Every structure is written in structure tokens, then in C-alpha cells.
Amino acid sequence: MTNKDVKFCTRCLYSNKHALGITFNGEGVCSGCQIHDEKNQLDWKFRLEKLKKIVRPYKSKTRKNYDCIVPVTGANDSYYIVHLVKNILGLNPLLVNYNKYFNTPIGISNLANLRIKFDLDIIFKNVNMRSVKKITKYSLLEYQNIYWHILAGHTVFPLEVSIKHKVPLIIWGAHQGLEQVGMFSHKHEIEMTRRYRHDHDLFGTEADQLIKLENELKEEDIFQYRYPDDSTINSLGVRGIYLGNYFRWDPTNQHQMMIKKYGYKSAKLPRTFDTYDHIDCFNYMNLHDYLKISKCGYSKVTDHVCREIRHKRITREQGINLIKHYENIKIENLDIFAKWLDVDSNSLNFVLNRSKNEEFWQETDINKFEFKGPSSYFPKLSEVNKNEINYNLDMDFVSTNKIDLKQSTRKYILFGKGIE
């Protein structure tokens, strides 16, 4: 990739290389920034009233069933979503959680506290670990991805519960395609689709495609991840709506509110300044993020920076320095992952090297790569005082806890017991 191939938004720091696809207007402003502007233009009171009308028919009249299903984790807006569903919309949700197995103590603690503070029913799905490991090993080797089972499980389990309990309404937080790249307007009121899950969450790979002659995966390993068929979905009228279309979505503010109101815990992660997202997982901001920059040419910190620029909490100049700083930070916990998956470090290194996309990495020697991704073409800006950046971020992003890496607790919490 050369300087000529890359085009940056004139407002945020996304480029035309964004994995979800991005477009630019005549002034060079990206589709994500244009849709973000709607947040300051829409009549949110009107939109809330509209949402109340949408959910009203789903309220159980006899109170003998739940009003809706809400997928939750020990991080990622879960508290705010449940707060809106229970306290603002007045619904009685059934919470569902898919066990991702890479759980941090803080994620388990957040999930336990969520159940206690909101006092709601919750169902957990623990797919047997043998199948999860087989899937993870295969998706890592074949697609350089360790998150397939998590995204597949997190998106299919709510539907399973919805169908089983005959609760047709599923409520999600914000839509990633809308928030990041403006794939839709808020006014389109986009709903959950099989198609988006297939194309983006599962990078085009459905459960059935995992079974191959050359691997050990069998029907009993993958059936848990198969999306229900259309006739089942349609006969019950299952629909999944996104709260981001009806509330002005601002994850940073929301998390800060949840810390104060409900004791949500936050923590410093190695490869980003955001202390609220993804703190429930040992791998998301480590190996998973490393694979993201290897394949897509940018890391999660770019997503966080662009969001903060759009909300006018940091400048573009600060964003450039933040991305350059965090993108290069070494990943941690690889040894725990290798042990859990029972792979040796040579195989893991082989996969890491193989994950380097030629478009963004140039091999300069055997297994030595030079980064040529978008951030290496950032416009040259005047030096910003790095201390000032760190100071500002420490002020804004609260860490209530540490991801505890003491030897005794430095392992995945496989099944959460609701411990403090």
C-alpha cells in the first residue's frame, strides 16, 4: 500500500481501508461522521416516544412471561442497555449471556453485580469446552480469528431463547455498522438481520462451513451456532431492535453514568485508552486486536479515537498520537491462550506471521514485517505534548480496577460464580 491508495476522512481518522466499507462526501467527510451528525440534529424525545409505541405490544399482559430478551456481557454497554430497558421503557427482560470462556475476574464481577443491581432473571449458555476449543483452533488456523465462536454464540443464543420461551422481541444496544461507518441512518431504524451477522460478525463463515474433511469438527460441535431458519423466526415474529436508533448513543458518558449509578467496574487495558469496553475478556484487546491490525491494517484504538473525535472530546491531533502509541504496544497473555488451546508457541507464531495482510505489511526478512497500514500515512502534525494527552485521558477515562494479572488469578475464569 502506498500513500496514493489511502484516503483519510477530513474529520475523524478512519480511512477508505475500513473493514466495514466507508464512503466520503465532497468535503472528504466520511459516512460515519455524516451519520454521527444526526445525533445532534434528531429529536430524541420524539424518537423515545416512537420506541415506546414499538415495544408496547410486546409487554406481557398476564405478566406470566418476559417482555423481551436482552443479550448481556460483563462489559460493552450492557448496564446501560438494561437500565434503559428496565427503567426507561418499563419492560421485564430476560437477560441472556453466552459464555466466551476468556473471562476476566472483572467481567465476571460486573455480570454478577448486574444481576444483583437490576434483580432480573438471566440464562447462561455454556457450550462444552471441547467443541469451543476445536472451533477456536480451526478458526484461528484457517481464518486467523479467535472470536468466531463468541460472535456466533452471542448472536444466535438470544434467538434460541426467544423461540423457546416465545418472547419475540430482542433488544440490542448500538449497531456497529451505523456507529462506525454510517452504514445506515438512525432514521432507517435498522433491525437485526441474518445477513449482517453472516457478512460482518462471522466474516461470511456459517457454522456448517466449519465442518471440513481435514478437521475434527463434527455436527455435534457446531449445531449450537446455527441460526434458526426463516420459517421458525417468522412464525413467531422474532425481531431484534437497536436502542442506538432511539437514544443519542455515547458509550463513554453512558459508562461513566453506570459507574456512579450501579457500580460498574472499569479497568486499564494494554492497547487502548478506553477503560470501559471489552474489559470482560483477556483476549479482545490482546490477541484479537493484534489479529485485527494484522489483517485489517488498524487496531481497536482507531475505533475508540474516531468515536472520541466525533464526540469532540479529543482533537484529531491527539487521536493521531494515541493511535501511534497504542497500536505498537506488545500483546500480553499469549501464554495463557496457548495453554488453554493446547497449542505450542511455534504454531502460534506461525499463525501470527501468516495473519499479516500483504496490503498492510511488507516482509523485509524472514518473519520480519514492516507496517504499511493507514496510520503510517497519517498527515504530519505538530508534536503534541504526550504528557498532556495522558493527563487528559486519565481525567476522562476512569479505571476503577485493574485487570488482575497476579499469578494466582492470571487465568481465564471459565465459569462465573458471581464472585467479588
- Residue 271, helix vs strand vs coil: coil
Rama region for 101: left / alpha / beta (φ>0; ψ in -120 to 50; rest): left
Q: Is-contact 196 177, C-beta < 8 A?
A: yes
Smaller CB separation from Zn ion, 89 or 183: 183
Rama region for 30: left / alpha / beta (φ>0; ψ in -120 to 50; rest): beta
| Cβ 31 to Zn ion shortest distance, Å | 8
Nearest to 86 by CA among 62, 75, 70: 70
The phi, psi pair for 41, rounded to 5°, reads -115, -30
In angstroms, the CA 202 to CA 200 distance is 6
For 189-271, where are the alpha helices, taking DSSP H only?
194-196, 219-222, 230-236, 251-262
Q: Is-contact 252 276, C-beta < 8 A?
A: yes
Q: Which of 12, 96, 217, 322 binds Zn ion (CB under 5 A)?
A: 12
Q: Which of 1, 6, 9, 178 binds Zn ion (CB under 5 A)?
A: 9
Smaller CB separation from Zn ion, 20 or 88: 20
Nearest to 207 by CA among 225, 182, 231: 225
Smaller CB separation from Zn ion, 9 or 91: 9
| Cβ 256 to Zn ion shortest distance, Å | 24
| Cβ 28 to Zn ion shortest distance, Å | 9
| Cβ 376 to Zn ion shortest distance, Å | 19
Positive or negative, the Cα torsion across 7, 196, 34, 293?
A: negative
Q: Is-contact 42 191, C-beta < 8 A?
A: no
Smaller CB separation from Zn ion, 13 or 89: 13
| Cβ 34 to Zn ion shortest distance, Å | 8
Q: Which of 11, 17, 288, 300 binds Zn ion (CB under 5 A)?
A: 11
Per-residue binder mask for Zn ion (CB under 5 A), 73-112, x = binder: ----------------------------------------
Smaller CB separation from Zn ion, 14 or 196: 14
| Cβ 239 to Zn ion shortest distance, Å | 30
| Cβ 9 to Zn ion shortest distance, Å | 3
Beta bridge partners of 96: 71, 123
| Cβ 246 to Zn ion shortest distance, Å | 23
Smaller CB separation from Zn ion, 11 or 271: 11
Q: Is 178 in the site for Zn ion (CB under 5 A)?
A: no
Smaller CB separation from Zn ion, 11 or 137: 11
User: In this structure, what C-alpha cell is assigned to residue 212?
Assistant: 471440513
The residue number whose beta carbon is nearest to Zn ion equals 9
Smaller CB separation from Zn ion, 182 or 240: 182
Smaller CB separation from Zn ion, 82 or 305: 305
In angstroms, the CA 234 to CA 228 distance is 10
Q: Which helix (H) or strand (E) holds 122?
A: strand 122-125
In angstroms, the CA 52 to CA 91 distance is 10
* Helix 334-341 × helix 345-354 angle, to 10°: 110
Q: Which stretch binds Zn ion (CB under 5 A): 10-18, 89-97, 290-298, 370-378?
A: 10-18
Smaller CB separation from Zn ion, 35 or 202: 35
User: In this structure, what C-alpha cell is assigned to residue 280?
Assistant: 470482560
| Cβ 311 to Zn ion shortest distance, Å | 12
The phi, psi pair for 96, rounded to 5°, reads -130, 140
| Cβ 58 to Zn ion shortest distance, Å | 36
In angstroms, the CA 55 to CA 51 distance is 6
Size of the site for Zn ion (CB under 5 A): 5
CA dihedral 46, 48, 51, 53 (to 10 degrees): -70
Q: Which stretch binds Zn ion (CB under 5 A): 11-19, 149-157, 182-190, 373-381?
A: 11-19
Of residues 21-50, those binding Zn ion (CB under 5 A) = 30, 33
| Cβ 183 to Zn ion shortest distance, Å | 13
Q: Which stretch binds Zn ion (CB under 5 A): 5-13, 79-87, 139-147, 176-184?
A: 5-13
Smaller CB separation from Zn ion, 35 or 91: 35
Binding residues vs Zn ion (CB under 5 A): 9, 11-12, 30, 33
